[in-house]
Amino acid sequence: MARCSFLGLGVMGAPMAKYLVKAGHEVTVWNRTTAKAETWVQEVGSDKAGMAVSPEEAAKGADFVLSCLGDDPDVMSVYEALTPVMATGMVLVDHTTASAKLARSLNELAAGKGAHFVDAPVSGGQAGAETGQLTIMCGGSDDAFAKAEPVMQAYAKQITLIGEAGAGQTAKMVNQICIAGIVQGLSEGLAFAQNAGLDPAKVIEAISKGAAQSWQMENRWQTMVEGKFDYGFAIDWMRKDLRIALEEARANGSKLPVAALVDQFYADVQDMGGNRWDTSSLIARLGQEVTHGDSGK
C-alpha cells in the first residue's frame, strides 16, 4: 500500500479520498477550508487517515499526490506550493478539469524535480465519485500512467491513457462538448412532449431503448420534468468546462457552434438564479414549470 496525499475535498474529492483509505492506502488530506478536512477525518474514522494544514505538508514524503481542485489558477497555486517537496519518483495526479496547457506546464514542473505527472480529469459526477465508479481520462507518459493506474482504481470503473500530458484534459473537453448537446436535445424533446400533451413517462418508455437513448435520458428525464435540479454537476462548473473547451477550439481551429450556443443557454439559467442547479436544468429556460425552484442552490 502507498502513502497518498489528496488535495481538495469538494463533492468529488472527499469521496475519492475515502476510497483510497478503503483500498488500504495511508491518506493525508488538505482542503482550503480546514473544517472540511477535519470533518473528513472524523467521518473516515481510520488510523490511516490524517490531515495537514497546507498542501506541502500533506504531500511531504508521499508516494502519490492527487488533487481535485477548481480551475487553472487554483491548481497552479497549489502546485507552486508543492514544488519544494516534489521528489524523485513521486507521482502527481491532477483530477481537476483544467486546461491542457496547464497540464503540460505541470508535467514540465514535475519532470524538473524527477517526479511523474498525470492529468486525469474524471467523468461520472458526484454519484460516480460516491460509488467509486468514475471514468478517468489520462494524459502522461506510459511510465507515469503505469504507476498511477493501480491507485486510481480505488474509485474508478474505467481508466484510459489517451496520450501525452494534456491529452486527458483534451478528452474531457470532448466529454463536456458531447454532454452539452445531449442535454439540450433532451430538454427540447421533453418540453415538446409536455407541450403536445403527451405523458413524458410513456414517451421515454417508447424511445429510451432506441437510437435516442443516452445516460442523461435514463437518469435525468424524470427529475427534469419535475423541475428538480440538485442531482449532479453544477452549472457554474459546466460553464467553466465549456469555457476551457471553447478556448481550446479557438486554438486548434475547431468549430463548436452547438457547444457555444448551449453555453449561452446555461448563462440564461444562471440569470434565473440556477448557478448551483445541475446541468439538466437547461429545460427550465424553455418555459417548463420549475416545481422546486430553489433546488440545488
d(CA 280, CA 273): 14
- Alpha-carbon distance of 118 to 22, in angstroms, equals 22
Give the contacts of 127 (CB within 8 A, at least 6 positions apart). 133, 231, 232
Q: How far apart are CA 56 and CA 86, in angstroms?
A: 9
> Looking at 18, 36, 147, 172, which residue is catalytic?
172
Q: Provide the 8-state DSSP code for 287.
A: T
- Please count the other Cβ atoms lying within 10 Å of the Cβ belonging to residue 204: 21
DSSP letter for 30, please.
E
* Closest among 113, 98, 79 to 165, alpha carbons compared: 98
Catalytic residue status for 172: yes
Residues with catalytic annotation? Answer: 172
